[in-house]
Amino acid sequence: MISLHQLSIYRGNQEVLSNINCAIERGEHSIFTGDNGVGKTSLLATITGRLPARRGRIDFSLNLQGGESIFDWKRTHVKSVSFTDDHRKFLQKARYYQQRFHAFDADGLTVETYLKSLGYDAESKADQQLINEAELTELLPVSRVKLSSGQSRKLLIAAALLSRPKLLLLDNPFVGLDESNRQLVNQLLDKVAQQQDITMLLAGFYTQLPSCVSTEIRLTKTMAVKMQPAIGRQPLMNRQAHIDQNIINYFKEVNHWPSFKTCLALDKVSIGYPDKQILQDLSLSIEKGEKWAVHGQNGAGKSTLIGLISADHPQAYQNSLLLFDQPRGAEQNIWDIKQQIGFLSSELHAYFHDPTWTCYEIVKQGFYVTIYNRQQLPPEKMRMIDLLFAYFQKSEIKKKRFNQCSAGEQRVVLFMRAIIKNPPLLLLDEPFQCLDPKLAAKAKHLIESVLTSHHTLIFISHYQHEFPNTITHHYHLTEPI
């Protein structure tokens, strides 16, 4: 169905894939894998026609009807799901990170309205069944912008399937999904593979796959090697990497921190919107230096909890919340709070749009309380940025535009941004999303090695093997009944 001939792809002025040859048969469901930055996302974009090939070509073996062009066929029969929601219906309105948490800024775009704009027929039994099997029926009246990252991922996949495509491309399809929803998506894709004339191409990292995916295509810069998928394999997270002593010493310095004993205390906190209750009577106390792992299914309120702590959620001021021994109130403004917190989440990742920012500039922003601050940093802090890029072996992307990097490269840049100012509290919401196993292992090893007994950590993940070995407490968050 698809043949790649001496294909070379560029992102900006950088060649990411060179002289790639590969053939994928009709109905051969495959997954592209490879290290971060190797060109998985770029290849999918080139197959869809969004990113032109610099050299070589892609051939489609099709039986075109009645003067139909390849461009017409792609427009009708090809659907793709990327890391973020790029549908026009969602992007045509101004978006900002905190919008999800504001009860009265829902912009009228419900999940059902969003789906109808993409072809959903509420009277069609087939469409109803698909939405029901994706477990989205109860979310139809909910505002689109208020979905969790996992709920959004399911919605995007279901929306792509509604048009019954013949070629479906899924970039990082399992990002943000909990265990039960990963299984649900796999079952949904298996059913579609059995019932429809479709070829599915996935890209990214996996611990489990739909049974219909029979081929793994591992990419390097110059090769595409086909092999059997290693179903059920677990990423290696125990690789040790050398950490420069200057980095270790940097995180031992805590004189810039405020004095406190209790890092966080919540007393019967409740968060809700007109269409959904998120948290109900949540009480929690985290002392200075504790390392907490937070578990919970998609939609349980994990990101809402993080938004409360980081002062991004407006309902924090309606609840009893103690942070760094201080009650949340008039004397504690949002910038004072953010100065003491390092933060990373999928939602935050989706809102880095400025095309002029380089990776170095984004890590540098971690020192400031607003992303538009341009103060001059002392040499020792500039040096620390260089050391972190060197630790992750990503020094070559320092001057690269952030929006020209792969999702995994972007994620490791935002991870560095979160930790660079050595804050007393780190909020890491699925920080290893999109990272290849080597980068994820490096990030985990760094957390385990440089955070002292004084640092407080709140770490969210849907994968047990990702939790640092230094975790001292586990907390399971459940949806209100």
- Given a cut of 70, whether residue 267 has pLDDT beyond it is yes
Confidence of residue 202 (pLDDT cuts 50, 70, 90): very high
What is the C-alpha separation between 237 and 156, in angstroms, rounded? 29
**Token output for 48:** 């869809």
Q: Could you tell me if 179 and 15 are in contact, meaning their C-beta atoms sit under 8 angstroms apart?
A: no
What is the signed CA dihedral for 80, 230, 299, 456, rounded to 10 degrees?
Answer: -120
- What local confidence, expressed as pLDDT, does residue 329 receive? 63
Q: What is the mean pLDDT of the chain?
A: 87
**Token output for 14:** 């950088």
- What local confidence, expressed as pLDDT, does residue 316 receive? 60
* Strands of the 326-327 sheet, one edge to the other: 276-287, 262-273, 320-323, 326-327
SS3 state of residue 413: helix
**Token output for 126:** 């087939």
**What's the whole-number mean pLDDT along residues 348-364?**
83
Write out pLDDT tens, residues 25-70: 999 999 999 999 999 999 999 999 999 999 999 999 888 877 788 8
**What's the whole-number mean pLDDT along residues 266-278?**
83
- What local confidence, expressed as pLDDT, does residue 476 receive? 94
- What local confidence, expressed as pLDDT, does residue 236 receive? 56
Write out pLDDT tens, residues 118-152: 999 999 999 999 999 999 999 999 888 888 888 99
- What local confidence, expressed as pLDDT, does residue 98 receive? 46
List the domains of the chain with CATH numbers. Answer: 2-227 (3.40.50.300), 245-476 (3.40.50.300)
pTM value is 0.88
